[in-house]
Amino acid sequence: MARGALTAGVHGADAVEENAAVPAPRLEAVHGDITAQDTDAVVNAANAALAGGGGVDGAIHRAAGAADLHAACAALGGCDPGDAKATPGFALPARWIIHTVGPVWAGGGRGEPDVLASCYRRSLEVAGGLGARSVAFPAISTGVYGYPAAQAAEVAVAALRAVDTEVALARLVAFDTATYDLYRSLLGT
């Protein structure tokens, strides 16, 4: 049944709203290393082949244990942009890694904001399905995929604020001070 759906008692009285207590997660921003986060899950800004690479993806593969993570990713058969898939966290403090493929920036007219928002939503859906209560996110698509940092931060915060999830905490992890300042401004902290 959909969140907020009403169900009625046997005689049509005493309607009760089901799942009313499922809020958006609490959002926080930190300046740090995504691979060192003590959350239940961390999100990897992956490529479609889930084959590892540079930036966040490379750092997560190295820190988790490249051989184990490569094998787990290969078994998933890739991932479409805007979707998310999970593997164990292996040597990371996080129990799980949620791999998501962000959009390559092409000027903003090819659906990039929708695909990026889907990355955040789907990552929380996958994390919630695993029972994760806390998830750390990098700045998805802002590296080699070229998404402008300010626009990406706006999409991230809006998407996370709008999602209904059992995940209690969504942590936005900024590798650099400029991104951290963007997150703090958007969160009002």
Q: Which residues contact 61 (CB under 8 A, 6 or more apart)?
A: 52, 69, 70
DSSP secondary structure code for residue 101 in this structure: B
What are 23-61's pLDDT values in tens digits? 899 999 999 999 999 999 999 999 999 999 999 999 999
State the pLDDT at residue 23. Answer: 85
The domain segmentation of the chain, as residue ranges, is 24-187
Task: Decide: 6 and 16 in contact? Cβ < 8 Å.
Answer: yes
Q: Is the pLDDT of residue 12 over 60?
A: no
Structure tokens at 17: 């709203």
Task: Look up the CATH architecture of domain 24-187.
Answer: 3-Layer(aba) Sandwich (3.40)
Residue of 14, 57, 114, 181 marked active site: 57
Q: How confident is the model at residue 3 (pLDDT cuts 50, 70, 90)?
A: very low
β pairing state of 96-100 and 6-7: unpaired
Q: In this predicted model, what pLDDT tens digit does every residue of 119-176 receive, in sequence order?
A: 999 999 999 999 999 999 999 999 999 999 999 999 999 999 999 999 999 999 999 9
Structure confidence at residue 22 as a pLDDT band (50, 70, 90): low
In angstroms, rounded to a whole number, what is the distance separating the alpha carbons of residues 146 and 148? 6
**In one letter, which amino acid is 92?**
L
| DSSP 8-state assignment for residue 161 | H
Active site residue 57: yes
DSSP, res 24 = P
Strands (E), the chain: 6-7, 16-17, 26-31, 41-45, 84-88, 96-100, 134-137, 169-174
Residues 6 or more apart in contact with residue 150 via CB below 8 angstroms = 182
Contact 115, 103 (CB under 8 A): yes
